[in-house]
C-alpha cells in the first residue's frame, strides 16, 4: 500500500523544520505531496538558501492556487497532512474552515476525512485569538505541536533541536524513526 503524506509550508519562520521533515519522509519511502504558500516559498528560500521545490527532488509540489488538484478531494487517499511551519494567518484560516487555497482546502479535507492533521505553529508569543484558533482546530481533530524542542536528549547542534521537533511530528503520525533519543528516565541507562 502506498504511503502518502501532504506537507504544507507557510510563511512563518522555521523553514528548516519543513526541510528536515521532507527529507526524512522521503528517506523513509513516503510519497510526499508538497504545497507552499507564496510567502512560504519566499521564507523557505530566504532561510534555507534554496527554492522549496529544490529541498527534496522526490517531493511532488502542487500549486497553492490549483483547487483542481487531487488533494482538494477526500476521495484522493493520503495518510495525513502536516503544516510546518504554520503561520498564524494560515492557522486562523484553517480554524475558520476556509478552503480558498489548496493548502487550506487540503487541511479541511484531512479533517473531514478524519485523517491526522499536525499543525506546527512557530510564532510566539500567542495572543488569545491565536490560542482560541488552536483550540478550535484541536477540537476538530488536529494535533497542535508548537516548534518547542526538548532538551532531555542533550542536543549538541541545531540539527538535534530540529530533529526533536520533526521526530515528535512523526510520533503524532505513528511513523517510526530514530531522529532523537527518547527519554528513558535518566540514570545508568542514559
Q: Is 115 annotated for ligand binding?
A: no
- Dihedral sign computed on CA atoms, order 18, 20, 21, 23: positive
Q: Is 89 annotated for ligand binding?
A: yes
Work out the mean pLDDT of the chain and round it to a whole number. Answer: 95
Q: Is 5 annotated for ligand binding?
A: no
pLDDT of 187: 55
Q: Is 110 annotated for ligand binding?
A: no
Q: Is 174 annotated for ligand binding?
A: no
Q: Is 37 annotated for ligand binding?
A: yes
CA distance 134 to 139: 9
Q: Is 78 annotated for ligand binding?
A: no
3-class secondary structure per residue, 80-146: CEEEEEECHHHHHHHHCCCCCCHHHHHHHHHHHCCCCEEEEECCCCCCHHHHHHHHHHHHHCCEECC
Domain holding 33, by residue range, is: 4-189
CA distance 74 to 90: 20
Residues of the chain with pLDDT under 50: 189-190
Q: Is 88 annotated for ligand binding?
A: yes
In CATH, what number is assigned to the domain containing residue 161? 3.40.50.1950
Percentage of the chain surpassing pLDDT 90? Answer: 92
pLDDT of 2: 81
The domain total for the chain is 1
Q: Is 138 annotated for ligand binding?
A: no
pLDDT of 183: 85
Amino acid at each position: 500500500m502506498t504511503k502518502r503524506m501532504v506537507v504544507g509550508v507557510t510563511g512563518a519562520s522555521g523553514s528548516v523544520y519543513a526541510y528536515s521533515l521532507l527529507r526524512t519522509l522521503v528517506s523513509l519511502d513516503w510519497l510526499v505531496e508538497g504545497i507552499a504558500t507564496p510567502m512560504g516559498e519566499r521564507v523557505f528560500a530566504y532561510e534555507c538558501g534554496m527554492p522549496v521545490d529544490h529541498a527534496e527532488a522526490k517531493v511532488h509540489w502542487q500549486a497553492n492556487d490549483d483547487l483542481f488538484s487531487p488533494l482538494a478531494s477526500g476521495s484522493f487517499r493520503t495518510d495525513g497532512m502536516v503544516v510546518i511551519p504554520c503561520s498564524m494567518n494560515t492557522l486562523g484560516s484553517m480554524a475558520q474552515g476556509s478552503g480558498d487555497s489548496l493548502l487550506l482546502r487540503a487541511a479541511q479535507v484531512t479533517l473531514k476525512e478524519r485523517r491526522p492533521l499536525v499543525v506546527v505553529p512557530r510564532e510566539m508569543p500567542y495572543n488569545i485569538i491565536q490560542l482560541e484558533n488552536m483550540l478550535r482546530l484541536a477540537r476538530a481533530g488536529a494535533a497542535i505541536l508548537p516548534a518547542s524542542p526538548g532538551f532531555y536528549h542533550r542536543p549538541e547542534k541545531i540539527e538535534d533541536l530540529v530533529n526533536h521537533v520533526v521526530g515528535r511530528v512523526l510520533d503524532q503520525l505513528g511513523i517510526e524513526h530514530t531522529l532523537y533519543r527518547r527519554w528513558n528516565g535518566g540514570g545508568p541507562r542514559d
